[in-house]
Structure 1
Amino acid sequence: MSQQHDWRPLEITPESAGVAATPAGLAEFVSDRERISEMLIREKALVFRGFRVDDGTLDSVMDPLLPNRLAYVHGNSPRSKVGSNVYTSTEYPSELTISMHNELSYAYAWPSRLLFFAAHEPTTGGATPVVDGVTWLESLAPEVREAFAGGVRYTQNLHGGAGLGKSWQDTFETDDRADVEVFLKGTEAEWEWLPDGGLRVTQVRPSTVRHPVTGAEVWFNQSDQWHPAALGDDMAAELAQILPEEELPQSVRFADGSPIPAEYVIEVRDKGLEAAVDVDWRTGDLLLIDNVLVAHGRRPFTGPRRILVAMSD
């Protein structure tokens, strides 16, 4: 096992940064983009705490941290757009755990950075667990890693406005089929428009990737979140028993089309959560992560938790 197992995000406070405990102080600190980039690659995740950032001052901090803010196009989780490429975090029921994942790791392209902002802390629970991708990969049994070596095949069934899961209009943020086709042509995906107005998208992706700067190999796929055996939602699990696999909102197999054993994805899910470090939220906190080096999830919570997220290439 790597020495990565004792990793945790670096917490930055006004005292450690040597600036005022204000949004302007934080904006001053993060304005040195080269320094922040070096820190993020070295530390993998940064927590900014005690700067009293709120919705009205968020952009002044977000702009230097995310120099090219991206839309959540082709995203598979339910969320709402609340600003200029700013979204609510995944809107799954509060009693559920969201397992570890790298944002858009199933897609042709993914953001390099994610920024989370605690607009309102939860009453209890609701931490964002983060896990070092090297640790997660090394924690898996050799036979699991070998089985996934050829990659995975993801299938999405996106309805046309009414149905289970997300619509293709919400997923691609457009009502124009031509726009969707232009996007998909650049992603090496296969797709077909269905008779009921829906869209089926299939794409083969790697199970691991290497960081473009450090060269570290990390676990980088969402097989457990797309596989019915690892679902924590009873309703979703029951749905998988009722519908054939090819009609589920999303499903996954090995790249060659063979089924992924249930015990493999359960191990992937559980090992990721076991190795994770919780970032507990206080209103005004920000968490910046390298989306390749670090995966994230969500713990169950009570109360009016409101976490916003934005991403950058």
Structure 2
Amino acid sequence: MNTHEFPLVVRAPSEGASLPDFLAGRKERMEADLAEYGAVLYRGFAPMTGEALDRLVGSLSSVSFKNDEESSPRNHVVGNVYTSTNYRSEMEIFPHNENSYKKEFPMKLFFYCVHPGAEGGETPIADCRRVLKRLGDGIKAKFQQKKWMYVRNFTAGIGVSWQEAFNTTRREDVEAYCRDQDIRFAWHDEDSLKTWQVREPLLSHPASGEPSWFNHATFFNIQTLDKDLRESLCDMFGDDALPHNTYYGDGSPIEPAVIGELQQAYLAESVPIKWETGDLMVLDNLLTAHARKPFKGERRIYLAQTDPVDRATLVPTEA
């Protein structure tokens, strides 16, 4: 594990150089850098269209990632390229690994800056190997013993609907998907669905075998939300029907002190990336969490997710 540079910054060999030309034939080098550093930022290259980005991502990946169970609204740009999130600009997004609650998740994330915004909008990133090292032995042992549970309530008019999340209007399709993905579910009415799934909190990297703290236990926990929003949601839905929440794998609540320690571990390891037009940042999703600072003005960041891996092939490792 690299203990110095994070992320690895690769600058254009000349002003306005073509990034696709520069990266031609360098897929293996990029993957080796990702496994060591967790994040690579390509900077100073000529801007690309969405179509050019989609072609570049395809050349640096093996398989695109089909994102069911979507938790953040996005707009489709072209091919496998989407907007990173449509979450409100004044809200901060806490560090997380994309789709860590899924049975299958993307190993590579490609973030591309079309426009950085007038103010704010940085993307903090955190090495989850280092996050893990900050956690007390008791916390790690308890999570490894109990695992963690993600509970989600799809309610009409609140967030992403179940139809959007599962890309279908057929309840039987949702049920088949949930059974295949080890997700329990319960329908409350035509537009209300509750799902819950239990996952391992640690996974080992397929290249290095290094353990990484890979989960949404902190991100989706109600205690991580802004105080006013947290109180509003609890008043509106109660503890059992919140849009998102997390627990230990046996359904017991995660103690506030534990959530506090987890939050501090992520924040202590976060490195804010201030975007420049034309930046391409590639993340090893298993090793690196990402976040977003509030912003003003136009900010446009594209995202492509690729190279899905089945978490069952990444044997949980003792921390």
- Are residues 121 and 28 of structure 1, via their aligned partners in 2, closer, same or farther at CA, if it must alter by over 3 Å? same
Q: What residue in structure 2 maps to residue 157 of structure 1?
A: 153
Q: What residue in structure 2 maps to residue 10 of structure 1?
A: 8
Letter in 1 for 2:63: N
1:88-167, aligned counterparts within 5 Å?
A: 88-149=83-144, 150-159=146-155, 162-167=156-161
Contact 1:4 1:134 in 2 (8 A): no
Q: Which of 157, 169, 174 matches 1:175?
A: 169
Residues paired across the two proteins, number: 305
Question: What do residues 278-305 of structure 1 show as CA deviations (whole Å, max 9, x unaligned)?
Answer: 2110111110010001111112222211
Contact 1:151 1:205 in 2 (8 A): yes
> 2:64 and 2:290 mapped to 1: Cα distance?
19
Q: Which of 56, 64, 67 matches 1:61?
A: 56
Deviation of 1:254 after TM superposition, in Å, equals 0.5
- Are residues 73 and 31 of structure 1, via their aligned partners in 2, closer, same or farther at CA, if it must alter by over 3 Å? farther
Q: What residue in structure 2 maps to residue 250 of structure 1?
A: 244
Report the 3-state secondary structure (helix = DSSP H, G, I; strand = E; otherwise coil) of the residue aligned with 1:304: coil
Question: What do residues 179-216 of structure 1 show as CA deviations (whole Å, max 9, x unaligned)?
Answer: 32332222111112222432211100111111111111
Contact 2:223 2:230 in 1 (8 A): no
Structure 2 stretches of 5 or more lacking a match?
308-319
> 1:192 and 1:49 mapped to 2: Cα distance?
47
Q: What residue in structure 2 maps to residue 266 of structure 1?
A: 260
> 1:31 and 1:280 mapped to 2: Cα distance?
28
Q: What residue in structure 2 maps to residue 21 of structure 1?
A: 16
TM-score, structure 2 normalization: 0.89
Report the 3-state secondary structure (helix = DSSP H, G, I; strand = E; otherwise coil) of the residue aligned with 1:312: strand
Q: Calculate percent identity across the aligned residue pairs.
A: 33
> 1:5 and 1:89 mapped to 2: Cα distance?
28
Question: What do residues 82-133 of structure 1 show as CA deviations (whole Å, max 9, x unaligned)?
Answer: 2223221122222222111111111111101100011111112211111111
TM-score, structure 1 normalization: 0.90
> 2:75 and 2:262 mapped to 1: Cα distance?
28
> 2:67 and 2:28 mapped to 1: Cα distance?
25
Deviation of 1:245 after TM superposition, in Å, equals 2.1
- Superposed CA RMSD: 2.0
Contact 1:151 1:255 in 2 (8 A): yes
Q: What residue in structure 2 maps to residue 290 of structure 1?
A: 284
Q: Which of 273, 276, 295 matches 1:279?
A: 273
Deviation of 1:241 after TM superposition, in Å, equals 3.7
228-237 vs 186-195, which moves further? 228-237
Contact 1:66 1:311 in 2 (8 A): no
Letter in 2 for 1:38: A
Contact 2:54 2:80 in 1 (8 A): no
Q: What residue in structure 2 maps to residue 45 of structure 1?
A: 39
> 1:135 and 1:36 mapped to 2: Cα distance?
21
> 1:153 and 1:242 mapped to 2: Cα distance?
22
Q: What residue in structure 2 maps to residue 188 of structure 1?
A: 182
Contact 2:2 2:37 in 1 (8 A): no
Letter in 2 for 1:9: P
Deviation of 1:30 after TM superposition, in Å, equals 4.0
Structure 1 stretches of 5 or more lacking a match?
none
> 2:91 and 2:208 mapped to 1: Cα distance?
34
